[in-house]
Structure 1
Amino acid sequence: MKGKMRRFKTKKYYCLMLLLFGFLTQAQAQDNGRNITEHSYNKTSRIRIQMISSNILRISIVPERGEFQNSGLNRYGFITRPDSEGFKPQISAAAQGYSAKTADMQVKVNYVTGNIHVTNTDGTKVLLDQSGASFEKGITEAVFKADKEEDWIGFGDQSRTHLYHRGYMADCDVRYKTSTYIPVPYFMSTKGVGILVNTTYRTIFDMCKTKPNSYNWKNQSGTVDYYVIVGKDFKQLINSYTSLTGRPKLPPQWAFGLWFICRDQADDMEAVNAAYSFRQEKIPCDVIGLEPGWMERRYDYSTKKKWSSKRFPHPFWFNDARPPSFVPALKKMGFKLELWLCSNYDLSYEAERQAGRRAGIKVNSDSLKDAAKANATPPIFQDDHLSGIVYADTVTLIDTPWFHHLEKFVDQGVDFFKQDAAVQMEFHPDRLWGNGMKDKEMHNLYPILYSQQMYDGFKAKTNRRPAALTPAGWTGFQAFSATWTGDTGGELATLGGILNTSIVGGSWSTVDMEVSTKEGIHYGYLLPFSEICSWAYFKMPWVQGSELTSIHRDYAELRSRLFPYLYSSARMSTKTGLPLLEPLTIAYPEDKNCRENLHQYLLGPGLMVGIYKKDMYFPAGRWKDYWTGQIIEGSQQKDISWPEDKGGALYVNSGSIIPMGQMMQYRGEKPLDEITLYVFPDQKETSFDLYEDDGITFDYEKGNYSTTHITTKKAEIASIIEIGKTIGTFENMVKQRTWNIIVNLEARPLAVSMDGAIIKEDQYTYDDTRKELTIRKLTKPGMISVREK
């Protein structure tokens, strides 16, 4: 007992005890033997363990008289069970406890000390060592041992100054205009394990800051509830985490074009002039957006919002269903339309209805109204002189989903809505929400309910892919929305937020581009999404001076041409959960030089972007400067430069295949019937799958899409590029395509052939400066051989 007391003081820490998968006789669990039954130790606490899959485990601990409960994340569908059919752990007795083994991990419990260990399959490596839990004075705490060399990444956008967190506190609570826009209580250890704390309460993590060999978290949830994920590396952990919390969903094709958000003061003429100017200046752009000034009542939280009669007038002969006359003008020029929104609506009523539908239970309006009466803040007062009941919440229509009032704008041609930080990120300490939650539980849940209902509402209304956009989020945000870094501009510091957001599964991200510097332009165009927000200023590219206007045009054209690469890479994100913008430390986890790199990233698998700094680190491999053609050997730090008409670094990794299309002023302007492959062959064979679909509907989920498998390899005497046959079909698919190839080559080729037939010299050229061979106008797929010796 004396030894045990060193670990668990009986008045401070509650000892942990568990039964494995019904191994003992008490209260055997169901669910195919994957759940561990609950048991108490010394009448102080109870624990329940559930095996979700071969590499995912859930641990829940409550005080002896507490009840096991799901969090709002479970209830509202932000955490789901991955498909794990056929999975069943092996159960065995061990000294002073029990163990359960799967193909990926082993769970061990010592019921004398109360310790819980998660190890690798053979038990030789401890991945997680929980040493205590307490529930004192309303504060829940979980405590773990830390290895000396262990470090952690994760937590989302709650810090923009570092990626690794040993020696830091991580405060996860959504806040406005700080570095906590999208905090996520998920982190991954360098030992190959991830932890997701299953809560929406503010949670503060002490990652060995107070004690050098111990980390912990604290919140007011009243329960220790977390998921343990085991994986060989960060990529596998992110894959499993997003299988649990939701994969990013494929946006419409036009979302990958440039977005321009007009000034708050803009009227219909300014919006049309901005659109017209983009076309006249030949700067590709897909979206025109409007800030709060589009509404009759600025920052209108109600469901009665309407167009400003002064700025966006309806002629008297227009009915309400007809769009303002500027909308068809935008559409004729190929633009999509976005509107700014703010929300103070109680989304929990609709969340309850949706939860009921998922559970096969009808949640009727009367029960919701009864709950609203009981939960009203302050209490409802009934005056005998007045009819009806007055709620403190004067915005919410209990019977009506929040998206319903936006449908009329969708009918008028609005393509998506920007969910501003306004109100959704504010604290409401005296508010009791319709689902019975107090604000301390609802505050971090609200932003993801907002995105979920935005996505689901638009999809149900249109059967088109939504393009939700928000600055705020929590666990599972990545499954519904793209994000931007809030009202913090587009300078270097914002990248820290994007990198940390990417680490927790965020794939579609952007910033408010800094349009008046070359560095800001470079960064803003080379992100998953690209946005210029004028807000109260004149940020149109054509008023930045002739030099910067030209640079805007060049980068917008490059982005337009990169579409096939970005879209195909985005498709892979939806299947694996890996972000489109990848921190170097995710791609090269063993390279410690990549750990705290906050000015470089991979955009898709083959492009490395450097922003604002000329001190670059090059990971293993060979790297080709896309601007100049210069090749740099990897595994070194190097001072670099870029051309005067560029604003940052852009490199292609050896082995990369970058498919590029024709430049278009907007998506769909013309068929994508010509593809240029930018290829940097490596001695190891590499590949890329060009993915295509109709770009708008969900037909791709039914198998209506195509892929073209492309491979390359640098053999002893020749470089080989093979374009496979396109597999699959979809509506309006290109039937005939022309292929061009630009391939890195150290010297002028001796011969070029396709499927054994010689390609004539007038069909290709060689650039001695860039060391590139360009092959033009191939009219069919096949194997291209470029002989060098």
Structure 2
Amino acid sequence: FRNRYWENQDYVIEIAKTFRQKEIPCDMMALEPAWEEEPKAMKWTEWSKDRFPDPQKFIRQLKEMGYQLDLWESGTAPFANVTATSVRDAWYDKRRGVIDQGVRMFKQDDPYPRGIVSAELEEPRFTTDKVTDEQFAREELENITNSLYSDTLFTNFRKQTGERAIVMFHAYNASVASHRWPFQWAGDYSTGYAPLNASLSGHAMVSYDLRDQTPGGIHNGFLTPFTVIDAWAYFREPWLYTPAIEESHRRNGCLRARLVPYFYSSLWQSHVDGVPIIRPMVLDHTHDPNTYFMGSQYMLGDWLLVDLTKSSDVAEGKTVIKSIEKFGVSSADEAEGRVGQVYLPEGKWIDYWTGQEVHKETAGWIEGSWPKYMGGMIWVKAGAIIPMGQAKNYESEKKDEIVVLDVFPGGVSSYQLYEDDGLTYHYEKGEYAITRITSQENLQKGAVRIGISQRQGQYDGMPMRRSYLLKIHAKNSPKRVWIDGAELPNVKTVEALLYNPDINGWSYYTEEKKAIIKLDRGWSYADPEAGKKPISAVPPTSRFENVVWKDDAKAVFNSRTVTLQMPTKPVL
């Protein structure tokens, strides 16, 4: 959450407390230029005495609530001899004091040095200010100065703290090789082609301000690599709008918190092979001309298709929407206006919210709806394996000792859950863990088999307890379920299964067409409340997904195999 320009210490703390009281997930509090005594001067030596009289206390209070602090900075940097390490080190040294105080993120809102004045993700325009260096021409320098300063910030922050720097740099800072440093902010965009183009250019983490305070805009903003609610000149606290908008923030924030293991594993995949987290449809469907100019939807990682209901797709001045197949609703009134259109590639797709399936022999547009507050459709590609954690108010609030595997069987598929300490560079030394998950569906035999490998590797702070809750998409209830060759009991209700630590087993959740399988005894969710199911696609808040372990619960770290015997004929 980015606070207003002239905000003060006491009010920022009140905003931070309110996020926690209202159970709206938030990890970062950000300050605009007026945190300094002289805004935009970038002297880095003096906090505003009036607005932030006790910065150390201020930072401590934020950290006690689970927040990190982000400071805005401008493009104030040396113009001369920028290729000299000593020049850039002196520029970095001014930041050492606030880093020692606990600041962990910087928003680089202007180029370095301030010579580029272009709009976001467009062709650069330059000022008449000269960037000089004895070794390079000005035209060469204009393409490398931002990279040099970004490299200096990341390298020296690492030397000073041993941690990964968190830097949000503006898209017009994105000079040569800038994809090496996360993360890129596409500025004041809400959606569209520009962030998708950046993804195609090798930027794994691209996002933009959440300025559309409607359920559709919130749906879009929370399903990107990072979410920024920018209130720098506005009153954008979620609770200052309607109760419905506040609830939309809460539910979408909790869904995002659940998805962190999937986001993080997708980011690791980007690190390994360069595939971005947000993927324009054309990346996987180059044979389909309809995807070439598609800004109204994208793939989030391998499995999730995110639909943005307000965008239009135009190619050569003509709409690419040819025909719409009705699905899930018969009229806009039945969904209270929550109706949109999505382009599904050929194959089997599952509506994330309802579990209903669509088999597309050829790609085409369909119409569908979504739950109240959620803001848009999410479709799941058949074969999907989506690792999820629990809803949290902030990421470090609790460890994911229970991993929820949301599986949508389809042929043979696999996914790797990646985990590390999330803080240091120890992953470069092999300090991380990988769990391989597989899914096999045999339609002739009516069998689904899920394999979970033994967790390979270790890292500091790794959960010492680990069990799994499986949510297997199934149009009909299984007949029988086995874990490691032993048959599991069928528990009458999902509630009885999830809130009793003394049993394991399976139950069928008719509402969302999923078999819920609890592999181990010894744990349960905290006390239930009506309508707050931790298995629902629309998540409850953090306190309803707290896991309670029995003292004598046994840790199970060996590989697991789950087999479901499904009906081979349709159930009438």
Task: Tell me the alpha carbon deviations over residues 627-658 of structure 1, each in whole angstroms, 9 at most, x when there is no partner.
Answer: 22222223222122222322111111101100
Instruction: Provide the residue aligned with 1:291 in structure 2.
Output: 32
| Conserved? CA contact 2:351–2:357, under 8 Å | yes
Per the alignment, do residues 428 and 442 of structure 1 end up closer, same or farther by CA in structure 2, a change over 3 Å counting?
A: farther
**For each residue in 1:680-715, what CA deviation from the matched residue of structure 2 results, as whole angstroms up to 9, or x when unmatched?**
0112x1101111111111111101111110000111
Which residue is equivalent to 1:624?
A: 350
Is 2:300 aligned against 1:603? yes
Q: Give, in whole Å, the separation in 2 of the partners of 1:567 and 1:432.
A: 38
Q: Partner of 1:718 in structure 2?
A: 447
Q: Deviations over 1:491-515 (max 9, x none)?
A: xxx3311100000101111111025
Matched, 1:746 2:445: no
After TM superposition, the structure 1 = structure 2 runs for residues 134-149 of structure 1, keeping only pairs within 5 Å, are none
CA distance in 2, matches of 1:349, 1:667: 41
CA apart distance, 1:595: 1.6
Deviation at 1:600, TM superposition (A): 0.8
Q: Which residue of 2 aligns with 1:453?
A: 152
- The residue number in structure 2 matching 1:545 is 242
Number of the residue aligned with 1:300: 41
In the alignment, which residue of structure 2 is the partner of 1:695? 422
Alignment partners' CA distance in 2, 1:752 and 1:445: 59
Scaled by the length of structure 1, what TM-score is found?
0.58
What's the counterpart of residue 183 of structure 2?
482
One-letter amino acid of the structure 1 residue matched with residue 116 of structure 2: M
Q: Which residue of 2 aligns with 1:309?
A: 49
Q: Does 1:268 align with 2:9?
A: yes
Check the 8 A contact 1:681/1:719 in 2, yes or no: yes
1:406 is the counterpart of 2:95 = yes
1:425 aligned onto 2:116: yes
Q: How does 1:374-385 map to 2 (within 5 A)?
A: none
Q: Check 1:520–1:649 CA distance in 2 against 1; reply closer, same or farther (3 A cut).
A: same
Give, in angstroms, the shift of residue 592 of structure 1: 2.3
Conserved 8 A contact 2:222-2:253: yes
Following superposition, the deviation at residue 661 of structure 1 comes to 0.5
Partner in structure 2 of residue 163 of structure 1: none
Distance 1:400 1:563, change over 3 A: closer
Partners of 2:214 and 2:368 in 1: how far apart?
A: 19
Q: Call closer, same or farther: CA 1:269–1:404 in 2, change over 3 Å.
A: same
How far off is 1:443 after superposition?
2.5
Cα pair 1:569 1:604 within 8 Å, conserved: yes
Q: Is 1:676–2:373 an aligned residue pair?
A: no
Question: For residue 186 of structure 2, what is the amino acid of its counterpart?
Answer: T
Higher strand share: 1
1:399 and 1:279 map into 2 onto residues whose CA distance is 39
Instruction: Tell me, yes or no, if the aligned pair for 2:5 and 2:31 is still in contact at 8 Å.
Output: yes
Match of 2:84 in 1: 352
Range 536-545 or range 763-772, more displaced: 763-772
* Aligned counterpart for 1:652 among listed residues 369, 377, 380: 380
Instruction: Write the letter of the residue equivalent to 2:296.
Output: H
Distance across 1 between alignment mates of 2:131 and 2:143: 14
The amino acid across from 1:765 in the alignment is: S
Instruction: Tell me the CA shift for residue 583 of structure 1.
Output: 0.9
Instruction: Give deviations 1:445-495, integer Å, cap 9, x for gaps.
Output: 232223222211211211101111111212211101311111x242xxx33
Change (3 A) 1:502 1:435: farther
Tell me, yes or no, if the aligned pair for 1:344 and 1:424 is still in contact at 8 Å.
no
1:4-35 CA distances to partner (integer Å, 9 max, x unpaired)?
xxxxxxxxxxxxxxxxxxxxxxxxxxxxxxxx
Partner of 2:143: 444
Question: Is the 1:523–1:611 Cα contact (8 Å) retained in structure 2?
Answer: yes
2:337 matched to which residue of 1? none
Cα distance change of structure 1 residues 432 and 592 upon mapping to structure 2, 3 Å threshold: closer
Q: Is the 8 A contact 2:420 2:462 kept in 1?
A: yes
Bigger shift: residues 444-453 or 267-276 = 444-453
Contact 1:682 / 1:714 at 8 angstroms: preserved in 2? yes
Instruction: Give percent identity, aligned residues only.
Output: 33
| Correspondence for 2:506 | 764
Equivalent residue letter for 1:517:
T
Letter paired with 1:690 = L
Partners of 2:88 and 2:33 lie apart in 1 by: 27
C-alpha contact 2:407 2:471 (8 A) present in aligned 1: yes
> Partners in 2 of 1:539 and 1:326 — Cα distance?
22
CA distance in 1, matches of 2:372, 2:391: 23
Deviates more, 1:477-486 or 1:407-416: 477-486
1:630 to 1:514, Cα distance in 2 relative to 1, 3 A: farther
Aligned match for 1:787, one of 548, 561, 565: 565
1:113-128 paired onto structure 2 within 5 Å: none
Three-state SS of the structure 2 residue aligned to 1:629 is coil
| Partner deviation per Cα, 1:51-99 (whole Å, 9 max, x = no partner) | xxxxxxxxxxxxxxxxxxxxxxxxxxxxxxxxxxxxxxxxxxxxxxxxx
Change beyond 3 A, Cα 1:432–1:662: closer
Is the alpha carbon distance of 1:400 and 1:705 closer, same or farther for their aligned partners in structure 2, counting shifts above 3 Å?
closer
TM-score, structure 2 as length reference: 0.80
Cα pair 2:44 2:95 within 8 Å, conserved: no
Please say if residues 288 and 338 of structure 1, whose CA atoms lie closer than 8 Å, have aligned partners that are also in contact. Answer: yes
Query: What is the rounded CA distance, in whole Å, between the counterparts of 1:646 and 1:663 in structure 2?
Result: 15
**Secondary structure, in 3 states, of the residue corresponding to 2:84?**
helix
Q: Give 3-state SS (helix, strand or coil) of 1:740's partner.
A: strand
Within 2, Cα distance between the matches of 1:424 and 1:627?
48
Give 2:21's aligned residue. 280
- Equivalent residue, structure 2, for 1:531: 228
Q: Report the alpha carbon displacement of residue 522 of structure 1 after superposing the two structures with TM.
A: 0.5
Using the TM superposition, name which of 590-599 and 291-300 deviates more: 590-599
Distance change in 2, residues 1:525/1:399 (3 Å): closer
- Taking a change above 3 Å as real, the CA distance of residues 597 and 329 of structure 1, as seen in their structure-2 partners, is same
2:70 to 333, 338, 360: 338
CA contact (8 A) 1:688 1:709 kept: yes
* C-alpha contact 2:481 2:565 (8 A) present in aligned 1: yes
Partner of 2:208: 511
Unaligned runs of 5+ in 2: 118-125, 311-339, 492-504, 522-555, 568-572
- Say if 1:346 and 1:434, in contact at 8 Å, map to a contact too: no
Q: Provide the secondary structure at the position in 2 that maps to 1:298.
A: coil
Shift of 1:565: 0.7
Match of 2:515 in 1: 773
**Cα drift, residue 304 of structure 1:** 5.0
- Name the aligned partner's letter for residue 220 of structure 2: Y
Maintained 8 Å contact 1:656/1:686: yes
Query: Gaps (5+ residues) in structure 1?
Result: 1-259, 315-322, 354-364, 366-397
Contact in 1 for aligned 2:79/2:131 (Cα 8 Å): no
**Bigger CA radius of gyration:** 1
Answer whether contact 1:766 1:774 (CA < 8 A) is retained: yes
Query: How far 1:399 moved relative to its partner?
Result: 7.9
Deviations 1:304-363, CA, capped at 9 Å, x for gaps: 55211110114xxxxxxxx4321110011010000000023126645333xxxxxxxxxx
Opposite residue 371 of structure 2, the aligned amino acid is P
Aligned equivalents of 1:399 and 1:563: distance in 2?
35
Number of aligned residue pairs: give it: 473
Counterpart CA distance in 1 for 2:88 and 2:468 is 55
Residue of structure 2 equivalent to 1:633: 359
Is 1:615 the counterpart of 2:341? The answer is yes
CA shift at 1:284, angstroms? 1.2
